[in-house]
Structure 1
Amino acid sequence: MYFPVSHGEHAVRLGNEASISQTIKVKPGMWYALILGASRTCAQDEVLRISVPPQSGDVPLQTLYSPHGDVIAWGFRATSNVAKVILHNPGIQEDPACGPLLDAVAIAQFYPPKPTRGWSFAANLVKNPGFEEGPFPIFNSTNGVLLPPKQEDRVSPLPGWMIESLKAVKFIDSKHFNVPFGQGAIELIAGRESVISQILRTVPNKVYNMKFTIGDARNGCHGSMMIEAFAAKDTLKVPFKAVGKGHFKTVSFKFKAFENRTRITFYSSFYHTKIHDYGSLCGPVIDQVIVHPVA
């Protein structure tokens, strides 16, 4: 059986209930992201179980987002000075030749994100607002890095943010894509099934302003796009006509907080594919999210 290898010349296929592991040195309390070149080998519901005890999670590989193999990131927080990384195939497939295919593994270290302190307009309540802390591709990956669904804030590979959706979102870098600000941004590639959110510390009955930038990644993604933004009980729908050339715009709206914790949420209203590759999902880019109290 032939297996395409996207990164390098060699790979490991995990057969039924197979595992590989390695012990690495880490710093207690620091955030990390495992960055993996992973794909399925058969048209079956394959899953990769990633464990760094006591944390564990299942990454679905059924949906392929790139014809050249996907790169995924999975986050964890170190609890001691060593961590055992375990990659496991928990499934039992009818065809023993099936199973997750791994062709690259790397690790990135993050500092715990914090809001930007300041007075009034100088403050930003959003942690990691410009996505400058993220799983930048360490090995050769021109398709971005997928952030698996249901990644909570405490273990997210995107520090400060939660991926609450049923499908992945994509972390993109300025080396390979159009990024409005800085080095990183998020592409919402699966419509309403791609959702990012964050919980902010707010003051009840106080009014806040939220500003963010949307655009396209200059990757051939086209069409009438729309990002929906939610904060407390307020909603903003932002239309954007993408022609795949890297254009972007900045919008803002005000919302009133009702509790000392307020969730902000973003998702894409529609599904999109690339103009020259209708098998590759894509979507609007979001960057530079700023929330500050209104004076």
Structure 2
Amino acid sequence: MVIKGARRVALFLVVCAATRAASAGDGPLPNGNFEDSPDRSQMDGSTVTGPDAIPQWKTYGHVEHIASGQKQGDMILTVPEGSYALRLGDDASIQQQLSVTPGTIYSVTFRSARTCAQNEKLSAWVVPGGAPDEVHVQTLYTSIGWDSYCWAFQAQASSVTLVIHNPFHEDDKSCGPMIDSVAIKTLYGAPQGNNNLLRNGDFEEGPYIAPGSQYGVLVPHRDERDISPLSGWMVLSYPNSKVVRYVRTPQGSYAVELVAGGEAALVQEVDTVPGSSCRLDFTVGDAGDNCVAKDQQPMRVQASTADNSTTVEYSSEGSGGSVRASLEFKPSQSRTRVVFCSTGYHSKSDSSGTRCGPIIDDASLVCASPTPAARRLLR
């Protein structure tokens, strides 16, 4: 398997003037679930033969309009919502033009599933905009075969073209990930609270989650160079294919579920005054998703900075409980990195194999100015 060169780059840069740009309001994109089917004259079996065959979208390369229950060899392809989805085969892409507000950050959510290779991935970007970002469709986190992923961009013009692309070349040109339920959400850049140095510590600003979703949205590796779909926060992982999950709690608010054990961490860097007295408060709990972990293997969350760390144990009943925890420290640097990670791996108690983990919520970091004596010692 190799990643092809840029033979289709010119196609991605084309914005069709005749296509009406969709206004980027919160929710599904026009025909984002691909239920508006192509005309049969532009199809060869399930394969799309014309770039304008899928209403509201342009397609390039080997794209298939997949019906739920369609067979691929001995495998039956399922669709998570409605009756249809798309499969992006050899070097294929889909794109849609959007009306946006320049300078505003948007998060794009989509569902995806592997069909052939273990290490499938998708690239996403907008034109005009930056370089493609990769989203790994590798580890399966749910029992239904589909996971929801998110990606974010900052608009550089009032009209942009969203591109989602399969960068791999397979011997079988039809092989590639399936995609469904493409949606968008405006992110307003959650400010810090009154005395809270953390931005978006309550996690109320994040990617679009479809109403009634049981699984939330996976947030992939995003470092300080990237635009995060979870305002204020980075997701650091090793390897960089691991994720955290953005979920809706039983109380109707939002939180982050640590589903990848120690392979992915939730991170934020803040300005601090060396020698000040700081206290990090946060909630550890479960998302009410039957993620049971007790007795000999409770959930364990490690919260840390460069100057101190603590491990919080939580015996989950899987019904939405929580405990409050704190970490006190005196920062030694003017920038402090706050890190949350889970130290174990967990699955739902229903034997489905769906991965789960502890949630982090309501995080706050409050610091008091250092005393005169402490300031003298730091000089």
TM-score, with structure 2 as normaliser? 0.72
Checking the alignment, whether the CA contact within 8 Å between 2:303 and 2:340 is kept in structure 1 is yes
Q: Give the gaps of 5 or more residues in structure 2.
A: 1-71, 370-379
Match of 2:61 in 1: none
User: In 1, distance between residues paired with 2:204 and 2:123?
Assistant: 27
User: In 2, distance between residues paired with 1:96 and 1:279?
Assistant: 30
The alignment status of 1:20 with 2:88, answered yes or no, reads no
Checking the alignment, whether the CA contact within 8 Å between 1:208 and 1:294 is kept in structure 2 is yes
In structure 2, which of residues 134, 141, 147 is the aligned counterpart of residue 65 of structure 1? 141
Q: Deviations over 1:71-96 (max 9, x none)?
A: 11111111221221101011012333
Checking the alignment, whether the CA contact within 8 Å between 1:29 and 1:77 is kept in structure 2 is yes
Checking the alignment, whether the CA contact within 8 Å between 1:7 and 1:140 is kept in structure 2 is no
Match of 1:159 in 2: 231
Deviation at 1:250, TM superposition (A): 0.4
4+ residue runs of structure 1 moved beyond 3 angstroms?
A: 150-154
The alignment status of 1:260 with 2:334, answered yes or no, reads yes
Match of 1:102 in 2: 179
Number of matched pairs: 285
User: In 1, distance between residues paired with 2:313 and 2:304?
Assistant: 15
User: In 2, distance between residues paired with 1:207 and 1:265?
Assistant: 18
Deviation at 1:7, TM superposition (A): 1.5
Checking the alignment, whether the CA contact within 8 Å between 1:136 and 1:173 is kept in structure 2 is no
**Gap change, CA 1:35 and 1:279, over 3 Å in 2:** same
Checking the alignment, whether the CA contact within 8 Å between 2:274 and 2:332 is kept in structure 1 is yes
**Gap change, CA 1:288 and 1:55, over 3 Å in 2:** farther
The alignment status of 1:214 with 2:284, answered yes or no, reads yes
Deviation at 1:13, TM superposition (A): 0.5
What secondary structure sits across from 1:66 in the alignment? Answer: coil
Identical counterparts, % of pairs: 37
Q: Which moved more, 1:271-280 or 1:14-23?
A: 271-280
Deviation at 1:139, TM superposition (A): 5.7
Q: Deviations over 1:29-81 (max 9, x none)?
A: 21110010111112431110111221421111111111221111111111221
**Gap change, CA 1:40 and 1:107, over 3 Å in 2:** same
Match runs of 1:139-150 below 5 Å: 141-150=213-222
Q: Deviations over 1:128-174 (max 9, x none)?
A: 01000011313653211111123547511100000111311000013
User: In 2, distance between residues paired with 1:12 and 1:151?
Assistant: 30
Match of 2:68 in 1: none
What secondary structure sits across from 2:125 in the alignment? Answer: strand
Greater percentage in strand: 1
Q: Deviations over 1:199-227 (max 9, x none)?
A: 01111111111100001111111221100
Match of 1:283 in 2: 357
What secondary structure sits across from 2:132 in the alignment? Answer: strand
Match of 2:271 in 1: 201
The alignment status of 1:91 with 2:193, answered yes or no, reads no
User: In 2, distance between residues paired with 1:78 and 1:211?
Assistant: 34
Match of 1:132 in 2: 204
User: In 1, distance between residues paired with 2:182 and 2:214?
Assistant: 16
User: In 1, distance between residues paired with 2:97 and 2:167?
Assistant: 20
Deviation at 1:98, TM superposition (A): 1.6
Match of 1:82 in 2: 159
Q: Deviations over 1:218-266 (max 9, x none)?
A: 1111221100001232101111111212110101121111222110000
What secondary structure sits across from 1:185 in the alignment? Answer: strand
Q: Which moved more, 1:187-196 or 1:79-88?
A: 79-88
Structure 2 residue identity aligned to 1:187: E
Structure 2 residue identity aligned to 1:170: R
Checking the alignment, whether the CA contact within 8 Å between 2:108 and 2:208 is kept in structure 1 is no
Structure 1 residue identity aligned to 2:320: G
In structure 2, which of residues 259, 263, 266 is the aligned counterpart of residue 189 of structure 1? 259
Q: Give the gaps of 5 or more residues in structure 1.
A: 118-122
Structure 2 residue identity aligned to 1:212: F
